[in-house]
Amino acid sequence: MKGDREKVLARIREALVLSAPHHDEPVGVKATSSAPFRAWLPPVGEAIGEQVVLFARQSEVLKTEFLECADVAVAAAHLAKLAAENGWKRLAWHAGALNEGVVPHLSSVPGLELLKVGAGYDPDALEACDAGITECETLVAQTGSVMVSALSSGGRALSVLPHHHVVVARREQMVSDLAESYARVEKRYPGGLPSFLSFISGPSRTGDIERILVLGAHGPKKLTVLLLP
Amino acid sequence: MSQILDQFQSDTARTTADVPRRAFVRKALRGYEVKRDETKATFTDWQRARNAASAIKYEGVNHLDRYLQEFEEKFTARGGKVYWASNAAQAREYILGLARDRGVKSIVKSKAMTSEEIHLNAALEKEGYEVVESDLGEFIQQLKKEPPYHFVFPCMHLKRGEISALFEKELGTAPTDSPEELTQIARRFLRRQYLKADMGISGGNFIVADRGVISITENEGNARLTTAMPKIHVALIGIEKILPRMEDLALFLPMLATAGTGQHLTCYNSMYGGPRQPGEIDGPEEFHVVLLDNHRTRLLADPEQRDALHCIRCGACLNVCPIFKNIGGHAYGTTYQGPIGSVITPHFRGLQDWKHLSGASSLCGACTETCPVKIDIHHHLLRNRRNAAAQKPVWWERIVWFGYVQTMTRPWLLRIATKLAPFAQKLHPLVLGGVFDPVRAWTKSREFPEVAGESFHDWWKKRKAKKS
């Protein structure tokens, strides 16, 4: 059932018979152009080092905890510390090369149950988790964002349902801006993008009540990004 | 006088008299303005970014048929369903049909102004479905049984005490004056809803043609949960939300955030390209996109004002509008408030019934100046005035204008009129405020300025004579 497809399209075509004036001169946005507007957005350095510094600065503004880790052991130790500090009882994670390197280190943390989500997981069990650890597609320096997807980050819910979201990423996943991030995923999934992609910029928040910032509106109250070499 | 105009006049009289509320709202709006200016300043060139955004929307809207079909083709290839709705009734009926057919009981919604536009909640509730708004502001407005006050900040007019009292009454919670605790009350209540709902309904900020995805912008995470947990996802989106290319989002997402809330990027910007795909572990089994016309093609058919369809609903024009600041969001009586609402509502719901909105404007142009996609908003208000007068002239206005033109084009007549004016004004107190007072709308709340005893023409002549 497609509804009034033909009627709506006919009305559109009829309406477009008269052409509308441009208010501005065209700015070279052609069907083939590759994001010519990038130069006008907030500036980002070319070198990865600069981008990491900018990402760290944006993270501070967004109230994301950002930590550069020298190796997997440092990341695992930090996670163990977070688990102890926040009293994590259950931790959810998904299969993935980076995760497999970090998460098994946590099996020694006393009283911490690990839940590996896969097809057919129980949403209630996931909701009961204190934290979720995911990988990501990219880190975006310009905005301090993490791009997650249904394929790289354990589906749609793992990165939003538990109260603390932890991202593990590699330095090479740092990109300058959103446009570069899109280019990366296009290249990675030539057969079609995952059904869900999202730029996450800081922990969930709201200012709906008197413009006062509250973290943890519906999604995670805390966001931690661990950057491995 | 029409009933809608009557309502507007009595509502604005009431809301403008509520000075403390006006001050409260004005302070919040000012806060958004300051934050936006700060973030705007981080752009290398905001004006050129605006030009680019305007040009991209021009491209999309002026080839709407082509891009919508491209979206449909790409989206359906991945298992999504597209429904084209000519009007509100069709859109409601399609969604109701889905709910009936799939045996839905509980529905969770993330923010969608299109659903306000077609009064979807009332239709669903009438048939016995439980419908819960999950955006905090919308959740509060739903409990309050009131439409959103501002299409980006639905409950910006409410103080925390009022929200606490509302929660106490409707949810039985303990009173608190902490926004943090109030948010947690909603969080706890809504978490259960995401897990139990069979259907999630969302809006959409952008329809991306070349990759067949829709993009949703939010801060709270409620839209992400609404589109992750229930087994059916329905997105109700106006046809004008088109963007030609995925990479265009790299411009529009930062611009929407900057103009809307003064953030570099809102917390979650998600792109949905279909239901759960093979190899993915969760996500809805079905994903329906309802493309809503509902008179948008009427506006499209007006090339002069077509750019009003470029609107990305950032709400920036409301935040700077002197009218919005004084009359508030509810007095408009429209789904879309503020300057942009005053432009588009007459096209959607009838020019004659809604032409008064174009009159409720100071034509200061702050809206046009702030618009991230450069819609010529305040001139469109003038165009609506012109079109309304041309379509259905008002007899007494015609008489007044006829007299004005006669006088202004005949210097001798104008001279007589200016000589007589001070005497005529002396008689004004006799009719002041009564039905025969020609300026009673003005004198109701202000004094009429005194007419000068001497015309500029005479003064100039005298001055020249003195000099020589």
pLDDT per residue of chain B (468 residues) written in tens, 0 to 9: 589 999 999 999 999 999 999 999 999 999 999 999 999 999 999 999 999 999 999 999 999 999 999 999 999 999 999 999 999 999 999 999 999 999 999 999 999 999 999 999 999 999 999 999 999 999 999 999 999 999 999 999 999 999 999 999 999 999 999 999 999 999 999 999 999 999 999 999 999 999 999 999 999 999 999 999 999 999 999 999 999 999 999 999 999 999 999 999 999 999 999 999 999 999 999 999 999 999 999 999 999 999 999 999 999 999 999 999 999 999 999 999 999 999 999 999 999 999 999 999 999 999 999 999 999 999 999 999 999 999 999 898 899 999 999 999 999 999 899 889 998 899 998 888 888 888 888 888 888 899 888 888 889 999 999 887
- CA dist list (Å): A199 to A141, A180, B266, B268, B400: 12, 13, 9, 6, 59
For residue A31, with 0-12 CB atoms within 10 Å meaning exposed, 13-18 middle and 19 or more buried, which class applies?
Answer: exposed
Residue B392's pLDDT is: 93
Please give the C-alpha separations between residue B197 and each of A211, B53, B106, B299, in angstroms, as whole numbers. 29, 37, 5, 36
Interface touch A200/B268, C-beta < 8 Å = yes
In chain A the domains, ranked by start, together with CATH numbers, are 48-228 (3.40.50.10420)
Pick from A1, A29, A143, A175 the residue to mutate for testing the B interface (most B CBs within 10 Å).
A29
Give the closest-approach CA distance of B313 to chain A in angstroms.
Answer: 17
Looking at chain B from residue 274 to 313, which residues have their Cβ under 8 Å from any Cβ of chain A?
Answer: 274-277, 279-283, 287, 291, 293, 297-298, 300-301, 303-304, 306-307
Domain boundaries, chain B: 43-294, 410-467
- Alpha-carbon distance B152 to B307, whole Å? 21
Query: Of B226, B275, B5, which Cα lies nearest the Cα of B115?
Result: B226
- Cα–Cα distance list, A39 to A13, B43, B247 (Å): 35, 9, 14
ipTM computed for the complex:
0.95
* Cα–Cα distance, B187 to B193 (Å, whole number): 10
CA distance B36 to A58: 17
Contacts of B304 in chain A (CB under 8 A): 20-21
Cβ-Cβ pairs closer than 8 A, A with B, add up to 310
Nearest to A208 among B58, B153, B279 (CB): B153
What topology is assigned to B43-294 in CATH? Rossmann fold (3.40.50)
CA B26 to chain centre: 17
Q: How far is CA B50 from CA A16, A125, B47, B311, B373, in A?
A: 24, 46, 5, 12, 6
Confidence of residue A29 (pLDDT cuts 50, 70, 90): very low
Question: Which of chain A's residues have a Cβ under 8 Å away from the Cβ of B228?
Answer: 155-157, 160-161, 196
Per-residue pLDDT at A31 exceeds 60: no
3-class secondary-structure state, position B118: coil
Tell me the C-alpha to C-alpha distance, in Å, between residue B107 and each of B135, B234, B273.
14, 10, 21
Alpha-helix runs per DSSP H in B216-308 = 222-226, 249-261, 296-300
Say yes or no: A85 contacts chain B, CB-CB below 8 A. Answer: no
**CB of A191 within 8 Å of any CB in chain B?**
no
pLDDT over 70 (residue A28): no
Q: Is the distance from CB of B301 to CB of B247 less than 8 angstroms?
A: no
The residues, any chain, with a CB within 8 Å of residue B155's CB and separated by 6 or more, are A208, A209, B136, B137, B140, B141, B144, B148, B149, B163
A187 touches chain B (CB under 8 A): no
Cα–Cα distance, B76 to A50 (Å, whole number): 41
Nearest CB among B56, B250, B263 relative to A29 is that of B56
Segment A45-88, tens digit of pLDDT: 999 999 999 999 999 999 999 999 999 999 999 999 999 999 99
* CB–CB contact B52 A27 (8 Å): yes
Strand partners, B270: A198, B216
**Amino acid identity, residue B394?**
V
Residue to mutate among A195, A197, A205, with most B CBs inside 10 A, is: A195
Phi and psi at residue A8, in whole multiples of 5°? -65, -45
